[in-house]
Amino acid sequence: MTVYIYSMSPAPTRIAAAQPALVPLASIKGRGSATAMPHRFERHEREQVDDGWGSLDQDAAEERLAPATQIIEEQARSIVTRNQSPDISFDYSINPYRGCEHGCIYCFARPTHSYLNLSPGLDFETRIVAKVNAAERLRETLAGARYEPRSLVLGTATDAYQPVERRLGITRRIVEVLAETRHPFSVVTKSAGIERELDLIAPMAAQGLVSVYLSVTTLDNELARILEPRAAAPARRLRTIQTLAEAGVPVGVSVSPIIPFINEPELEHILEAAARAGASSAFSIPVRLPWEVNPLFQDWLARHFPDRAERVMARIREMRGGKDNDARFGTRFTGEGVWAELLRARLRRAAARLGLRSERRPVQLALFTPPRKPSAQGELF
C-alpha cells in the first residue's frame, strides 16, 4: 500500500513510519491529548535530556503549539466489518476513517492507531486515515451473491462526520450507496455534519431505513472544550437533534461515556434537553479505559481535575471489579456493582419520565435491492 500524507494544501510527500515524540505535560489548545505517547508495540523509548544550552525549553515551547491535522489516504481492501461481539446489538459496521480529529480523550478506538505504528495520543487526533475508496468497496460488497442485509451502523469506532468529512465527502458517498440500495443503517455522531445528508436520509427515514443517535456527553461548554475539543458544541448537537426530528428522522441521544463526578451529575439534565429537542430514545455506557486509553485518560484527569482524579478512578474501579478496565463480554458496556446499577436505574427512571425508549427500532430489511455489478463492456443503452 502506498500512503501519502496531505497537510491541507501542499503537494503530497511519501512518508516513513511515525516516530513517537515526547510532549510536555501541558494541555495543547484544541487537542484532547497532551502527549504523543508511545504505543504498546513500540520497542524503543525516547527521553529528552537537558544539554545545558536551553534547547529543551525551546523544544517544549515549540511542541506546545497545536499540531496540524494530516490526512493519510488509504485504499481499503474491505469496508464492511462483521460484528463478533455478543454484547453489541448490530451485525455490520462501516468506519470511513481511522483516527478522529474530535480528540475525545476517552475514545475507546485510540489504541487502534497502535496497529498503524502511530501514537494513540496526538497521532490519533492529528493523523487521520481516510478510506478514499470506501463507497466503491461497499458497492462491491452489497452486490456480492452471498451478501445478506442486516443491521449496520456507520461510524462505530471513529466519527464518520468528523471535520475532514466536509472536504473529502467519503461518508456522503457511502450514504448515497445505502440510499440507492435501500439498505437500513444507523449513525452515531457528535457532529452537525449529519444535517448535510438530510436530502438522502429523510426519504429513507420515511421508509423505516434510518435512525440517528447524537452523542451528548455534557451541556457545559467548558467541559466539552477539554473533553472533546473539536466536536460540535453541546447546544449545536441539540439543535441537530431538533433538525433531524423535524425532518422525520428517528433520532436518539447517547449519553456516553458516563464519567463519575465529571459528567455523571448531568445525566438527567442531558436527557431532558435531548427530549425537548425531539429525541425519542436514549442509552448510556460507563467510561471504558482499554489499553492506552487508561494512561491518556488519567493524564487528562491530573491536568484538568487534580482535585478529584483519585475519586474518579476509585469509582471507575468500583464498576470494573477493582480494575481500571474490564474487557469481559457482558460487563464491558454496563459495568457491575452498586454504582453501575444506580446509573442504570437513573437512566431508566429519567427515560420513562421523558418518554424515551431504550430499545432499538426494528430493522427494515425487505426493501434492500442489490446494486448492479459493473460490466466490463459497459451499458448498451
CB 92 within 8 A of CB 81: yes
CA distance 116 to 127: 11
Domains and CATH numbers, the chain: 68-278 (3.20.20.70)
Q: Is the pTM of this model over 0.85?
A: yes
**Nine cell digits for residue 163:** 471535520
pLDDT attached to residue 206: 96
| Phi/psi at 179 (5° precision) | -70, -45
How far CA 83 is from CA of 89, 94, 183, 290, 352, in Å, comes to 9, 11, 17, 18, 30
Strand 152-154, strand 127-131: pairing = unpaired
pLDDT score of 17:
35
Please report, in tens digits, the pLDDT of each residue of the chain (381 residues total): 333 333 333 333 332 333 333 334 578 888 988 878 876 666 655 555 455 555 545 555 555 566 899 999 999 999 999 987 777 788 999 999 999 999 999 999 999 999 899 999 999 999 999 999 999 999 999 999 999 999 999 999 999 999 999 999 999 999 999 999 999 999 999 999 999 999 999 999 999 999 999 999 999 999 999 999 999 999 999 999 999 999 999 999 999 999 999 999 999 999 999 999 999 999 999 999 999 999 999 999 999 999 999 999 999 999 999 999 999 988 889 999 999 999 999 999 999 999 999 887 788 999 999 998 755 555 444
pLDDT at 186: 96
Is residue 154 within 8 A of residue 367, CB to CB? The reply is no
Per-residue confidence (pLDDT) for residue 91, from 0 to 100: 93
What confidence score (pLDDT) does residue 13 get? 30
Q: Which of 254, 324, 259, 323 is nearest to 286 (CA)?
A: 259
Other beta carbons within 10 angstroms of residue 130's beta carbon come to 21
CA distances from 339 to 180, 256, 342 (A): 46, 16, 5
Chain centroid to CA 278: how far?
Answer: 23
C-alpha cell at 138: 461497499
Please tell me the distance from the alpha carbon of residue 160 to that of residue 98, in angstroms, as a whole number. 10
User: Strand order in 97-98's β-sheet?
Assistant: 13-14, 4-6, 70-74, 127-131, 97-98
Hey, is 304 helix, strand or coil?
A: helix
